[in-house]
Structure 1
Amino acid sequence: MNRLLLGTVSAFALTLFAGQALAGPEGCDAGEMVIKFSHVVAEKGHPKGEAAVKFAQRVNKEMDGKACMEVFPNSTLFDDDKVMEALLLGDVQIAAPSLSKFEAYTLKYRLFDLPFLFASLADVEAFGSSDTGKSMLKVMEDEGYTGLGYWLSGLKQFSAKKPLLLPADANGLKFRIQTSDVADAMIAGIGGSAQKLAFKEVYGALQTGVVDGQENSWCNIYTQKFFEVQDGITETNHQTLAYLLVTSTEWLEGLDPEIRDQFLSIAEDETAAANADVANKEAACRQNILDAGGTIRELDATQRQAWVDAMKPVWAKFEGDIGKDLIDAAVAVGAGN
């Protein structure tokens, strides 16, 4: 069965037990295991959204008769704050929240939030593919979750209701952040105040002035139209936005070994393919913002160093949570690229 199923919650939703389908929803064959994949971004024009589509297409083609993957974009099923519980309850089988969303389960992923740790997406990918990066996929198994891979989205840029060229320009402004204490400390370091909001609430908060600015990747800024309700975007590349492709450890271990191996092989292939094309997608989204009339401000070397100096103290504050060994490993990867 070659198909991609996209939808919202149905009254006839599939009942799962230990990963096995008792009855199939419309579009899936009877007896197939249904794999629900919930995420919060757009289906098209966003690296994660498009990667999810391709992942489902591979599963539905190559595991036809054994598995059927449904993708639910744009928080139509769960947002990233609720999807973790849904994984444990078996309401979904796959999710891809931002790494910032896992602070309730581990503090190790705070590594990816450290400002100016990675200079490029290539550095992030190299670390994720390293032995250290792979070992971090398993840090939540005691909590019931297993990481399948890191899906990159981009480096983050700041936007606000006024021009931001130096950290002092952010003084007194309210910035939306993800659920991240590192980001909270980073915003405080530039004199702003942070407000944690769900992704789906950001546009409205910017539009109504609940917050004055935000930080995000080019494709999030473009596909969610944040640039329409901001004075402009400052190209800081200050932080990594990456997602953890994650599942329930119980669900994964409950699969037939042959099915599990095939599924994990597809997940690994699609993770590599998705990450290989992120830089191109981000560049296209950046250009799309300009083409739509958005303003992008570039920093000179002196301005950029001012942002680095303002944010770098955050590293020492969270070193104990993350582990100096992990920080050193990430720095070493960057130095070797």
Structure 2
Amino acid sequence: MAALALAGCAGRGAGTEGGGDAAAEGDEFTITIGHSVAASAPVNLGSLRFKEIVEEGSDGRITVEVFPAEEIGSEPELVEGLTLGNVQIALVATALAADSCPSLGVYALPYIIQGDTDRDQYENLRKITESDFNQDLIDQCEQDTGLRVLDNSWWYGNRNLTTGDREVNVPGDMAGLIIRTPPADLHTLAIQAFGAETLPMAFSEVYTALDTGVIDGQENPISTIYQNALFEVQDNMSLTKHMTQNQTLLMDAAWFDGLSEDDQELIQSAIDEAGQYQSDLQLTTNEEELEELRASGMTITEPDLAPFRAAVEARVAEVLSDLGIDAQTIADLQR
């Protein structure tokens, strides 16, 4: 959090004291955006595209500073930083955003986004996020928490399981394994339903924990596995596709509302354009990096997903019931 505090002090421009005090019309100010993804990954390249659009569109009046790879804090710390005024945009996994706005967790439920391919799934994700259903979810989030969802359609990819010397073809193969998950409740749902023990852990600790045997495996999208060289400490990857990860961009609503209408429109337009750029790039990158993982010597298993779906079915129904969301509504939006 000390890093967040320093970044906040460095990143504030005229009139931007954080915690809801935004810049007046015509003021110069800085937008600090933080995330946990590697600097070379499409998520960061999308963030840099956002920076380019905003700085050009404001003729340099608005400066955007991008901090990747947890440079100014973990995802929970970034969300906390929004209300402290240290961060203006937290770009986080939707499962983590759901810790603040539970209804957003519908997107992080196992096998909820349908499609035979990642590209099909991305199109279905967009159908949902562009719907009145999604608008109701993000309106409720803002009402309950004061956090504005700028976008929740940045594609990252399906989360898959990696392990050391054990191939996973059916859920039973996971019995007795300790699997690292991110520190968000929804990340544990599928892995526990498959029969493994979960150990939440900051991502910065994962490589060493795998190398030393503290954990037997982890789960992440292809890009995270490749960009962070987890193939060096994991022999196997099973394409369980147990969670579709889209990234959510959060901002303090009061801070956003305090901006001029022109600046609001510029920021939102830049988010939309950068998100499409990032998602298109991520889809292609995931395909390329999967082949790179094969070339690295990693054994890639493509299991029948039916038993994995069956293992989580009851848990998914329970969460949807708790959220007051009808599963058929989600399915209908993807037709």
TM-score by length of 1: 0.87
Residue 210 of structure 1 aligns to a residue in which SS? coil
Residue 239 of structure 1 aligns to a residue in which SS? strand
Report if the CA contact (8 A) 1:40-1:200 is conserved.
no
Q: Percent identity?
A: 26
Structure 1 residues 191-206: aligned runs within 5 Å: 191-206=195-210
* 1:311 correspondence with 2:312: yes
CA apart distance, 1:146: 0.3
Question: Which residue among 20, 28, 35 is the counterpart of 1:32?
Answer: 28
1:44-76 per-residue CA deviation (whole Å, 9 max, x = no partner) reads 1x2211111111111111112321101011111
* 1:48 correspondence with 2:43: yes
Residue 76 of structure 2 aligns to a residue in which SS? coil
Residue 81 of structure 2 aligns to a residue in which SS? helix
Distance 1:10 1:318 in 2: 37
Question: In angstroms, what is the RMSD of aligned CA positions?
Answer: 2.3
Report if the CA contact (8 A) 1:20-1:34 is conserved.
no
1:63-104 per-residue CA deviation (whole Å, 9 max, x = no partner) reads 123211010111111210111111111111011111111343
Report if the CA contact (8 A) 2:156-2:246 is conserved.
yes
Distance 1:153 1:78 in 2: 20
1:272-321 per-residue CA deviation (whole Å, 9 max, x = no partner) reads 3322333212111212212323221122xxx3212121122211221223
Distance 1:295 1:136 in 2: 40
Alpha-carbon distance change, 56 to 167 in structure 1, aligned in 2, over 3 angstroms: same
Unaligned runs of 5+ in 1: 1-7, 22-29
The one-letter amino acid paired with 2:321 is: G
* 1:153 correspondence with 2:149: no
The one-letter amino acid paired with 2:10 is: A
Corresponding residue number in structure 2 for 1:20? 23
Corresponding residue number in structure 1 for 2:269? 265
Corresponding residue number in structure 2 for 1:5? none
Question: Which residue among 205, 214, 220 is the counterpart of 1:216?
Answer: 220
Corresponding residue number in structure 2 for 1:167? 171
Distance 2:282 2:111 in 1: 19
Name whichever of 70-79 and 101-110 sits farther off: 101-110
Residue 164 of structure 1 aligns to a residue in which SS? coil
Distance 2:172 2:106 in 1: 25
Structure 1 residues 314-329: aligned runs within 5 Å: 314-325=315-326, 327-329=327-329
Distance 2:46 2:223 in 1: 13
Name whichever of 180-189 and 208-217 sits farther off: 180-189
Residue 195 of structure 1 aligns to a residue in which SS? strand
1:93-125 per-residue CA deviation (whole Å, 9 max, x = no partner) reads 011111111343222122122211113232222
Distance 1:190 1:107 in 2: 23
Alpha-carbon distance change, 260 to 10 in structure 1, aligned in 2, over 3 angstroms: closer
Distance 2:93 2:33 in 1: 15
Aligned residue pairs, count: 316
TM-score by length of 2: 0.87
Corresponding residue number in structure 2 for 1:253? 257
Report if the CA contact (8 A) 2:7-2:86 is conserved.
no
CA apart distance, 1:12: 6.9
* 1:84 correspondence with 2:87: no
CA apart distance, 1:258: 1.6
CA apart distance, 1:248: 0.6
Residue 113 of structure 2 aligns to a residue in which SS? coil
Structure 1 residues 82-161: aligned runs within 5 Å: 82-119=77-114, 120-141=121-142, 142-150=144-152, 151-161=154-164
Report if the CA contact (8 A) 2:127-2:333 is conserved.
yes
* 1:73 correspondence with 2:68: yes
CA apart distance, 1:323: 2.2
Residue 88 of structure 1 aligns to a residue in which SS? helix
Unaligned runs of 5+ in 2: 115-120
